[in-house]
Chains A and B, each alone.
Chain A
C-alpha cells in the first residue's frame, strides 16, 4: 500500500513539470477552413416535387373521382360509374382468368413485397441520416 502511495507521489511529481503541447500557429484557421469546405460540400436535399404540388395532385384526383361518381343523367337507375366498374371487372377477369398461381407463388410475391417495403423504409431513413450529417 505504501509502495502504491510512493508510486502515485512519484508520478504526480513527474507530471507537475509536464506541459501541454501546442499545435501549429494556423491550427484554428485550418479547422475553420475545413469546416467551410464541409459546409459547401454538404448535399442539400430537397424533394423533387414540393408539398403543395402533391396536395394539388391529390385534390385534383379527388375532384375527378367525385365528378365521375356524381356524373350521369338523372333518369338512369344506375349511376354511370357502375358501367365503368362492370366493364373494368370483365376486362380483368378475361385477362387473368387463365392465369393460375400456386399458393407458394402467392406467398413469395407477398414476401417479396413486404421485403421491398421494409428495405425502402430502412434505405430512406439511412439516406436521410447521411444527408443530415
Chain B
C-alpha cells in the first residue's frame, strides 16, 4: 500500500498507528450506514466500533478478492443486521405507490427552492423513515459504491437484485418525501 492507504501487513503485525489510519479513513461511511440502519446515534457508534474490532480481528483472513472498502462495509452491514435481529427491529418496507411524472417534478421544484440547511434536515428525516436495508443501499450507492456488483457483494445480492432494489428504494424515498413536503409547497412551486 502506498501514500495514505493503510498498510494491512503492518496492521496484522500489530501496528496501532496504521490501524488508526484505517479507522479514520472509513469511520464516517461506516457510522453513517449504521446510523441510518439503526436510527439511534449511541447504538450506531457502538456498532461502528464493533465493526472495526471485527475488522482488526479478521484482517489476516482478508484475501484481497474484493476492495478493502467493500469488505469493511460488508462487515458493517452484517453487524448492523445482527444488532437489528437481536433487538427484533427489522422494519418492514412501506409500499411503493406509483408516482406520476408531474408529482416528481413538483417535488423537484420544491426541493430546488429550499435552503440547503432545510434540505439537509429533510434528507435526514426522510432517510430515517426508510427500512434499514433501503437506507443502507441508498447510502452506500450515493456515497461510496456506484458499481452494482461491488454493492451486491456488500449486501449479499446479485447485480440485478441491486438494480431492482435501488429502483424500489428510490420509489419509497420519493413517497416519504411526498408526505414530508407540505402540499401547499408542491402547489406553489409545482
A interface, CB within 8 angstroms of B: 2-4, 6-15, 17-24, 27-28, 30-32, 34-35, 38-39, 133
Contact = CB atoms under 8 A, between A and B. Distances in A.
A21 B27 contact: no
A28 B57 contact: no
Interface residues of B, number: 45
B182 interface: no
27 contacts: A2-B101, A3-B104, A4-B167, A6-B108, A7-B104, A7-B174, A9-B108, A10-B177, A11-B173, A13-B111, A14-B123, A14-B177, A17-B119, A17-B123, A18-B127, A18-B143, A19-B120, A20-B32, A20-B143, A21-B28, A21-B31, A27-B23, A27-B45, A31-B20, A31-B49, A32-B19, A35-B56
Contacts of A23: 27-28, 31, 44-45, 48
A34 B126 CA distance: 33
Contact of B123 (A3, A10, A15): A15
Interface of B: 14, 16, 19-20, 23-24, 27-29, 31-32, 35, 44-45, 48-49, 52-53, 56-58, 99-101, 104-105, 107-108, 111-112, 116, 119-120, 123, 126-127, 138, 142-143, 167, 170-171, 173-174, 177
A56 B146 CA distance: 62
A6 B171 CA distance: 11
Given A18-B120, A38-B53, A31 B28 contact: no
Contact of B99 (A3, A12, A30): A3
Contacts of B119: 17
A117 to B, nearest CB: 29
Contact of B138 (A10, A13, A15): A15
Given A3-B99, A10-B108, A23-B27, A32 B16 contact: yes
A35 B142 CA distance: 30
Interface of A is mostly: helix
Given A4-B167, A19-B120, 17 more contacts: A7-B171, A8-B170, A11-B173, A11-B174, A14-B126, A20-B31, A23-B31, A23-B44, A23-B45, A23-B48, A27-B31, A27-B45, A31-B52, A32-B20, A35-B56, A38-B57, A39-B14
B27 A28 contact: yes
Contact of B107 (A8, A10, A21, A39): A10
Nearest to A9: B108
A22 B52 contact: no
Nearest to A22: B28
Contacts of A31: 20, 23, 49, 52-53
Contact of B101 (A6, A21, A24, A34): A6
The 5 closest A-B pairs by CB, nearest first: A15-B142, A23-B31, A20-B28, A6-B104, A11-B170
